[in-house]
């Protein structure tokens, strides 16, 4: 499990492209037959991918956690961004199709991941935060989670937001998780931008075909920088940073948050006149 340490916005101003990518950009999360996770010191947030091909993969614990099993003091959100698969939670199986969600609460000892067809594997994207309470394991099909439509074609940001784990949906301690889908012909996400000083966030971009990419914008509103992000790569967004992007085509991303509260609407909007 890779470690990403926290930075502060004053130091951030001096970062060149290499340092910026080293601190916030997270490639290599999706690898056939492997599990690749990142531990961020922002709110102790863990994220990454598990791609079972051939054999099932059991979620291990890590030395960084100092725990007997991964979820001893944590909760876990899973969204399948690949083909059909199955997650078995302490012996109970949960089939997961594309863009289905599974929440697993604190105290679960064994989590096993499988693909229905190893030649077209499931791609399980994971978010995990520390937990103080044991909420029940809960499945959410894509068709059943809360759906919000935002933006417009005229501003190139018409999109669908699927709210999966949130205050009025699947319950958790502090994890908030969902999917944003840009409609065809639209490229801007989370724009106009916002901040939420009470929560950090991670974006995982996917369904970007070929050589297409997203230019992800981050930083304080008056001190922005950009990262070129490609398919199935993630970006860490500190609480002091905006998090928005524009792609060379339409795409999807999973957003996950951890921090002070679970209110999706808890945002501090940034007027476009203040963005530099």
61 is written with which tokens? Answer: 């614990």
What is the DSSP track for 225-259? EEEEE-TTEEEEE-TTSEEEEEESS--EEEEEEEE
Q: What confidence score (pLDDT) does residue 261 get? A: 87
Residue 265: pLDDT band (50, 70, 90) is confident
The pTM score is: 0.97
Distance, CA of 99 to CA of 40 (rounded, Å): 24
The pLDDT of residue 264 is above 90: no
**2-274 topology per CATH:** Jelly Rolls (2.60.120)
Q: How many whole angstroms separate alpha carbon 71 and alpha carbon 232?
A: 25
Q: Strand, coil or helix: what is 214? A: strand
Mind listing the pLDDT tens digit for each residue in 40-74?
Answer: 999 999 999 999 998 999 999 999 999 999 999 99
d(CA 89, CA 102): 10
Domain edges within the chain = 2-274
pLDDT one-digit tens code per residue, 230-239:
999 999 999 9
How far apart (Å, rounded) are the C-alpha atoms in residues 42 and 21? 16
Which of 265, 252, 262, 268 minimizes the C-alpha distance to 170?
A: 262
Say how many C-beta atoms besides its own lie within 10 A of residue 105's C-beta.
21
């Amino acid at each position: 499990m890779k470690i990403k340490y926290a930075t502060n916005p004053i130091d951030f101003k001096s970062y060149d492209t290499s340092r910026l990518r080293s601190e916030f950009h997270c490639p290599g999360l999706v690898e056939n037959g492997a599990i690749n996770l990142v531990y961020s010191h922002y709110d102790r947030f863990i994220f990454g991918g598990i791609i079972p091909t051939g054999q099932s993969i059991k979620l291990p614990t890590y030395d960084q956690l100092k725990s007997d099993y991964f979820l001893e003091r944590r909760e876990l959100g899973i969204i399948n961004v690949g083909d059909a698969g199955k997650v078995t939670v302490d012996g109970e199986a949960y089939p997961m199709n594309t863009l289905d969600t599974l929440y697993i609460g604190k105290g679960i000892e064994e989590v096993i991941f499988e693909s229905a067809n190893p030649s077209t594997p499931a791609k399980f994207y994971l978010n995990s935060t520390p937990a103080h309470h044991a909420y029940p394991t809960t499945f959410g099909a894509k068709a059943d989670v809360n759906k919000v439509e935002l933006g417009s074609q005229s501003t190139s940001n018409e999109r669908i937001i699927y709210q999966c784990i949130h205050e009025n949906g699947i319950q958790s301690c502090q994890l908030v998780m969902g999917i944003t889908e840009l409609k065809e012909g639209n490229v801007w996400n989370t724009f106009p931008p916002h901040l939420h000083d009470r929560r950090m966030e991670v974006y995982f971009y996917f369904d970007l075909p070929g050589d297409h990419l997203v230019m992800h914008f981050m930083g304080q509103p008056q001190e922005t920088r950009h990262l070129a992000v490609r398919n199935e790569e993630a970006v860490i967004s500190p609480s002091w940073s905006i998090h928005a992007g524009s792609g060379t085509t339409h795409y999807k991303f999973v957003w996950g948050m951890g921090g002070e509260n679970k209110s999706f609407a808890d945002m501090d909007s940034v007027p476009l006149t203040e963005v530099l």
